[in-house]
Amino acid sequence: MTPELKAANLVLRPLTHEDTPHVHRLVNDWKVVRTLSSLPFPYPRDLAEKWIRSTQEDSQAGHAYHFAITRENILIGAIGLVLSEDKKTASLGYWISPALWGQGLTTVAAQRIIEWGFRFLKLEKITADAAIDNPASCAVLKKLDFQEVGKSTRRFLSRGQNCEVTLFELNRARFLELNPTPPLPIPEEKPKPVSTSPEVTTTHSLRKPKTLLVVAAALLNLENKILLAQRPEGKPLAGLWEFPGGKVEIHETPEQALIREMQEELNIDLTASCLAPFTFISENVGEFHLLMPLFVVRRWQGTPFPKEGQNLAWVNAADLAKYPMPDPDLPLIPLFQELLG
C-alpha cells in the first residue's frame, strides 16, 4: 500500500476520493496539462475521479504508487512511480501547481520518492522523460542526478500531436553512491574518569571500532507467523521492516533489555524464561560494529500495540523476503524459513 512520507515541510500521502476537486482544478490548467502526455484538455472532473480510483487499485496490486503532494494539509500536486512488470524498474512522473513553480518543492518531493523507491522497493533503475519545451522539468531531473540517455517522441493528448521528449534515467548504484545509507544512531557513552597514572596508548586501541549492542525478538504467534515492525518516518532507514528490539544499556543484560524494549515499543510483558536464544548478527555497519543477539519468543502477556507509531505485520516465514529489511537482517530470512518451514 502507498505509505505516507515526509519531505521537509511536505507530506506525501495516498490520494483519496476527497482530493478529486483539487486534482481537477489544478490539472485542468493549460500550463500543467500541456506537460502531461496522457491527459486531454479540457480535463473533465470524472476523469480525475477515475484516475484517483485507479491509483488506489494500482497501489493494492503493487503496480504503481501515486502520492498527493501536500503542504499544510493542502494538496498542491501529485507524484508517482509506475513499476515495470518485473518490478525492477519504475518510471517517475509528477506535476505541481504553477503558483508554486520555482520554489524547489518538486525537487524535494521527487528526492523523497526516489529514495523510497531505491531503499524500500529495491528498484534497480528509475526512468523519467520531459518534453524538450519543458526545460524546468529537465532541470529538476538533472538536479536529482538523472542522466540524459536519449531522445524520443510521445503523443501528447492535450496538444493533439507528437512531441519530442528527452529521456532520463537514474540507477540504484549511482543513487546509493551519492546518497549513502544513513547510519543507525550510535549510543552515547558516558565520559570516563581521567586517570592520573601514566598509560600507554597503542595504535590498536585507537583503531578499535565502537560496538553497538542491540537485541531483537522474533515473536511467533499460534500460526507461527513472525511479527515485523516498520521503522517510522523521521528515523534512519524509515520504511524498512525489522524484528522489534533496541539498544542494550550499559547496566543491562540482553534479556533485560529485550523485556524493557518490548514493554516500551509494543506494550507487552515478557519474562526471561520465555526467551530462547536463536542466532546473532555481527557486522560492520557504518562507523561501528553491530552485534545483535536474536531471541525467539512464543509467550507473552498483552497484545502487541505500536506505541512508537510504527506499523506492525504478522508475516509467514515464506513471505519474509517480500518485506524490505536493513541489509544486516537479510541473512536471518533463510534461517527462519528453515525453522518454520
Q: Does domain 209-340 have CATH number 3.30.1380.20?
A: no
- pLDDT at residue number 218: 93
Under CATH, domain 5-178 is a member of which superfamily?
A: Gcn5-related N-acetyltransferase (GNAT) (3.40.630.30)
Q: Where are the domains of the chain?
A: 5-178, 209-340
Nearest 5°: the CA angle 139, 142, 148 is: 110
Task: Give the pLDDT mean for 31-38.
Answer: 94
pLDDT at 272 over 80: no
pLDDT at 182 over 80: no
Whole-model pTM: value is: 0.68
Average of per-residue pLDDT values in the chain: 88
- pLDDT at residue number 196: 45
For residue range 288-312, what is the model confidence (pLDDT) as tens digits? 788 999 999 999 999 999 998 889 9
pLDDT at 124 over 90: yes
At 204, is the pLDDT very low, low, confident or very high (cuts 50, 70, 90)?
very low
At 210, is the pLDDT very low, low, confident or very high (cuts 50, 70, 90)?
confident
For residue range 141-157, what is the model confidence (pLDDT) as tens digits? 999 999 999 999 999 99
For residue range 55-96, what is the model confidence (pLDDT) as tens digits? 999 999 999 999 999 999 999 999 999 999 999 999 999 999
